Amino acid sequence: MLAFDAVQHWDTIAAQRRALADQLDALSAEQWSTQSLCGAWTVHDMTAHLIVPHEISIPRFLVMLAAARGSFERTNVAMTARVATRPSAQLVADLRRFAESRAKPPGFGSEAPLTEILVHGQDIGLPLGLPAAGPLEPWADALTFLVSPKARRGFMSRPVTGMRLVALDVDFTYGSGEEVFAPAVALAMTLMGRSALVHDLDGPGAAKLAGFARS
């Protein structure tokens, strides 16, 4: 399995952010109000969420976390709500402005923000019928991260066991057991608990992997 280097994904992350910004530039007001795949957030809210890590300081985060009585989920919602007051055009400009940012969660390398921009880009793109922004190859690294034990700290809560995952469009295989064949995006989004692409899963382990998704 790939051993991640602390800086190897930053150029790819910047390119993905800019590619997503290009897609967002073309959205109508109605599309900006479309519900994303991430909870009750709209496309506008989801874009605001992508800006938060680049603007929130650790001291400010701790203050908001205390105000939320230690709930990271409530803190996340509050931080996103503050940024979401901006016009959509400003959010797109911010996404481009922070394209080169190397902000990342403590204890993680660049694999974490890479996975975040890819998955949240699809949280936005899938409800709108948009293709994945940028090339597909980076999804192989995101999948390698998602099936690692490290990803269960904040990204996933369930280990991948009893399945052999095979991506049909990038160089990625993992595990042993019942085989699951699918495009890389479908594998990653299902692992992250999204049900939007479970119909793209195939093979004897497809139903088991689909159980990772929440409706």
What confidence score (pLDDT) does residue 69 get? 57
State percent of the chain over pLDDT 70: 87
What confidence score (pLDDT) does residue 214 get? 63
Point out the domain boundary residue: 128, 163, 190: 128
- 39 and 101 assigned to the same domain: yes
Provide the residue range defining the domain that includes 203: 138-210
**Burial of 107 from C-beta contacts in 10 A (0-12 / 13-18 / 19+):** exposed
- 168 and 91 assigned to the same domain: no
Task: Assign 133 to helix, strand or coil.
Answer: coil
- 144 and 51 assigned to the same domain: no
What confidence score (pLDDT) does residue 43 get? 98
Please report which confidence band the pLDDT of residue 2 belongs to, taking 50, 70 and 90 as the band edges. very low
pTM score above 0.75: yes
pLDDT for 141 beyond 80: yes
- Give how far Cα 103 sits from Cα of 75, 125, 182, Å: 18, 23, 31
**Cβ atoms 51, 85 nearer than 8 A:** no
